[in-house]
Amino acid sequence: MKANIHIKRMKGVRYLMNQALSSYTSMQVGGRTAMILQPEDMDALVRLTTYLHEKNVPFYILGGGTNTIFGEDGFPGVVIRLGRGFRFLERLDRNRLHAGAAGFLPLLLEQSMKWNLSGLEFCYGIPGTVGGAVAGNAGMDGLGIHDFITVIHGVTLTGNPVTLRKGDYSYRYRYVEWPKFCLDSTGKVLQKVKDESLIVTSVVFQMQEANPEEQNQLLEKYKIMRSRQPAQRGTAGSIFKNPAGDYAGRLIEAAGLKGRAIGDALVSPAHGNWIINKGRASAQDVLTLISLVQNTVFRRFGVKLEPEVKIVGAP
């Protein structure tokens, strides 16, 4: 990790120096970063990303940290977490919601139900932020969050504000492919971007009026499904994406890996696709266990499991 990074102070940005990244992720492992920067609003984010781009300082956007594993060496740059100005939720009209990226997904579901709106019930039990869910197309039961999004506001890594609409980008299971060109609200080309290089700042959801009976049935269904998963503390949720036509958890169990441990990192005995930090696991323990699972499943079944979690700052 580079510890001698110098970032000028700027209005609207909170600075946290020499931070342990294990404190910011649900897996509770990982090294340190020189600083965590928290822009409080859109103007501050644009200033900050423009400056970091001009100075060639590497940065990583971190949401709730529920789907991210940092390596032992931390991150060789700075980490950005969106601040309070990105935690809003407003009702635009009868069936449309505008949600800030730093808001928590469980609160979005809770408020949408209070407004008698339906569509996001499958998000029950999914932790983390709205922005994180959008970046990875979080979902369940064949549904993904992008199925209900009509507009995405964001900033490119070079500091350009952009607006994307349905059809401007593509998505599939646990993946989003941002366009080769981000467009602003008038359709003007602003900046070429690479895949996964858009900082999501807010999204507009298209919902529908809820049928209370059907909504309760859906919620009960998802509660039962979530109850079969381990507790969220010391985990990062599903470690691997499900391969086509199969389930990662089934393959891991069939390979005899449930309960396998390296150090304090354990393949959950309850669900093969979850790894648990029993308390003192290092990032290397977790990453070595992930590699062991991948190699074993590939040898046994010829299936290469692709991580669903974001692995950052590791070889």
**Cβ neighbours for 37, distance < 8 A, ≥ 6 positions apart:** 7, 13, 14, 15, 16, 48, 59, 78, 79, 80, 81
Residues 112, 238, 268, 282: which is the catalytic one?
A: 238
Residues 32, 81, 174, 260: which is the catalytic one?
A: 174
**Residue 193 pLDDT greater than 80, yes or no:** no
Please report the pLDDT score of residue 314 as a whole number: 80
Please report the pLDDT score of residue 232 as a whole number: 61
The domain defined by 87-227 folds into 3.30.465
Active site residue 174: yes
CATH node for 13-84: 3.30.43.10
| Count of other CB atoms within 10 angstroms of residue 189 | 12
Q: Would you call 57 helix, strand, or coil by DSSP? A: coil
Q: In one letter, which amino acid is 129?
A: T
Q: Report residue 57 as tokens.
A: 């300082």
Q: What's the average model confidence in pLDDT over 39-50?
A: 96
**At residue 231, what are phi and psi to the nearest 5 degrees?**
-65, 155
Please report the pLDDT score of residue 4 as a whole number: 53
Active site residue 250: no
Q: Identify the weakest region by mean pLDDT among 88-92, 96-100, 136-140.
A: 136-140
Question: How far is Cα 262 from Cα 281, in angstroms, rounded to an integer?
Answer: 8
**248-312 is classed in which CATH architecture?**
Alpha-Beta Complex (3.90)
Residue boundaries of the structural domains of the chain: 13-84, 87-227, 248-312
Active site residue 268: no
Contact 82, 101 (CB under 8 A): yes
> For residues 263-273, b (16+ Cβ closer than 10 Å) or e, as one string?
ebbbbbeebbb
Residues 22, 121, 260, 308: which is the catalytic one?
A: 308
Token pair 């309070």 in the structure block, residue? 84
Q: What's the average model confidence in pLDDT over 265-293?
A: 96
Please report the pLDDT score of residue 210 as a whole number: 94
Task: Kindly indicate the confidence band of residue 160, based on its pLDDT and cuts at 50, 70 and 90.
Answer: confident
Q: How many percent of the chain have pLDDT more than 70? A: 92
